[in-house]
Structure 1
């Protein structure tokens, strides 16, 4: 059996192995990484040989660490990366190439529907009715979307929200507030099986699941990288923030909002935290716009989204998809019974 894992920003790790009596045998680790001294490769293979086939990534990594001397340097990979490759060889973890992804292009609708679809689509993927899915949001009205654990009073100025007719909604994932007006940002949701992030910490999984979009940004001339935990940043400042939720059903929701052309003057009248963030960035006047994608690419928003989709399709096995009537009906039901209700929105007042 063979498993591969490409470390984001690092090297490829390949593990070939067999099992006998539910234990690992004939383990051979290889890849384009660097390892000093090179005899340590035999120590890694030896540490894995004989381990139970159901050993977790963390325990596999621990066995490797215990089997290596203090003078060993692993460059471009880690014991965890080897553990993930082992789990993939055993079919316990999966890689991007193991899945066909459904891609749903932007569909304009009430933004609350998109908030609700972030609960509906994971249910569909978990049930097997839908393959892993990448979908892009588009919306017809303004909305502030706060994280699952944020306080409404701490995040939103009610007078500012009322002045501009901006509703407030709470999403299922953690993280910070999203200030959304039609056309001002680019948001996508990626729903994948938990097996794709097997063995990865939350911090590692953020970068792993967005490695493709870093490549798409490079295609557009933007050199961007992850700043832990969940920010995508270029040399000219922050571009995006990500959020995640891992469902007990065995799927992960990972979504990202990228600033395209945000009205900062309006944002700081609606979001209390926006004032602090602009102050931290040394922005004296809120009259300027927050527009990293527009200013750094000189491209229309829909052209950027099209470029993102093309990059994802060129990188992975995909098929174009859309929402089913059943999914939309379930989302509408959730808007009425959950996401538009004061009880849900103000559950952390």
Structure 2
């Protein structure tokens, strides 16, 4: 199967989230999966859909960073020194029906990629449950499918289901951010410098094998870009959305 690949580019947080939502909508109609890699033009805190906006002030290091609210759940993520991906696939694809199926495929492929780059990472497995409230930051939480190095989470993903399609997006921490100094990245933990472009290139090969897919470089259609502009204006760039909870 051919999959459209939208290669790594750096954008503001509200645009990144709007494009992911636009792709979720268009995938249901086109039935063509899209894999997108992206970065963030400025350090940006993204809140999980169900988090309270006021809780962002509980993390002072990120208090002066831009803030958006994701359409997916989970804890807050400080997007800075990282590579982010999103994968939109029609629900007609049987792999999209399993809750953890796509998580496993992407995360195991990442672990093999890191091994080839000289870094040892593993799947978290059954994490110890936190007593009381979950930590504010996503990367201080643990789920069974997270990718960890020496006990620290370096990759986590979340899903959102729409009409006829599934969006999975996730973050890979490459290095420690000054906006979240308590979270080391791959470079800090493995003493190995890996650029976002190098990781993307190596991971693509593993994903191609794992998913039995061929990637074809493309870009947003005019309709998807128009939709993303509208979604950003009405949702992700609007205070009513970001501060709704």
Q: Determine which of 76, 91, 97 is the counterpart of 1:177.
A: 76
Distance in 2, matches of 1:210 and 1:101, equals: 18
User: Matched residue of 1:215: which SS?
Assistant: helix
Question: Could you report, residue by residue, the CA deviation over 1:32-81 in whole angstroms, capped at 9, with x for unpaired residues?
Answer: xxxxxxxxxxxxxxxxxxxxxxxxxxxxxxxxxxxxxxxxxxxxxxxxxx
Offset at residue 209 of structure 1 (A): 4.3
Q: Tell me how far 1:158 sits from its aligned partner.
A: 8.3
Determine whether 1:233 maps to 2:148: yes
Are residues 1:322 and 2:223 paired? no
Q: Quick one: higher RCO (CA 8 Å, sep 6+), 1 or 2?
A: 2
Cα distance change on mapping 1:206 and 1:329 into 2, 3 Å = same
Q: Is the 8 A contact 2:18 2:232 kept in 1?
A: yes
- The 5-angstrom pairing of residues 1-349 of structure 1 reads 99-128=1-30, 131-157=32-58, 161=62, 164=64, 166-181=65-80, 184-194=81-91, 195-197=93-95, 200=98, 202-227=99-124, 228-235=143-150, 237-247=152-162, 249-264=163-178, 266-267=179-180, 278=182, 290-293=184-187, 295-296=189-190, 297-313=192-208, 315=210, 316-348=213-245
Gaps of 5+ in 2: 125-142
State the distance in 1 between where 2:17 and 2:204 align: 21
Q: 1:206 to 1:158 in 2, by over 3 A?
A: closer
In the alignment, the residues of structure 2 paired with residue 294 and residue 305 of structure 1 have an alpha-carbon distance, to the nearest angstrom, of 19
Following superposition, the deviation at residue 303 of structure 1 comes to 1.8
Check conservation: 1:186, 1:258, Cα contact below 8 A.
yes
Question: 1:199 and 1:180, CA in 2 relative to 1: closer, same or farther beyond 3 A?
Answer: closer
* 1:236 positional shift: 5.3
d(CA) in 1 for partners of 2:44, 2:172: 15
How far the C-alpha of 1:180 sits from its partner, in A, is: 1.7
Task: Give the aligned partner of residue 284 of structure 1.
Answer: none
Structure 1 position 330, deviation (Å): 1.7
Counterparts of 1:205 and 1:326, CA distance in 2: 27
For 2:104, what is the secondary structure of its paired residue?
helix
What are the superposed Cα offsets for residues 301-334 of structure 1, whole Å, 9 maximum, x if unpaired? 3222222234334553221112223322221221
8 Å CA contact retained: 2:42, 2:66:
no
Cα 1:121–1:311 shift into 2, 3 Å: same
Q: What is the root-mean-square deviation of aligned Cα atoms in Å? A: 2.5
Greater Rg over alpha carbons, structure: 1
SS in structure 1 at match of 2:7: strand
User: Size of the alignment, in residue pairs?
Assistant: 223
Residues 141/330 of structure 1: CA separation in 2 closer, same or farther (3 Å cut): same
- Once residues 235 and 158 of structure 1 are traced to their aligned partners in structure 2, the CA distance between those partners, rounded to angstroms, is 24
Q: In 2, are the aligned partners of 1:203 and 1:229 still within 8 Å (CA)?
A: no
SS of 2:230's partner is: helix
Q: 3-state DSSP class of the match of 2:72?
A: coil
Change (3 A) 1:313 1:143: same
Is contact 1:175-1:242 (8 Å) kept? no
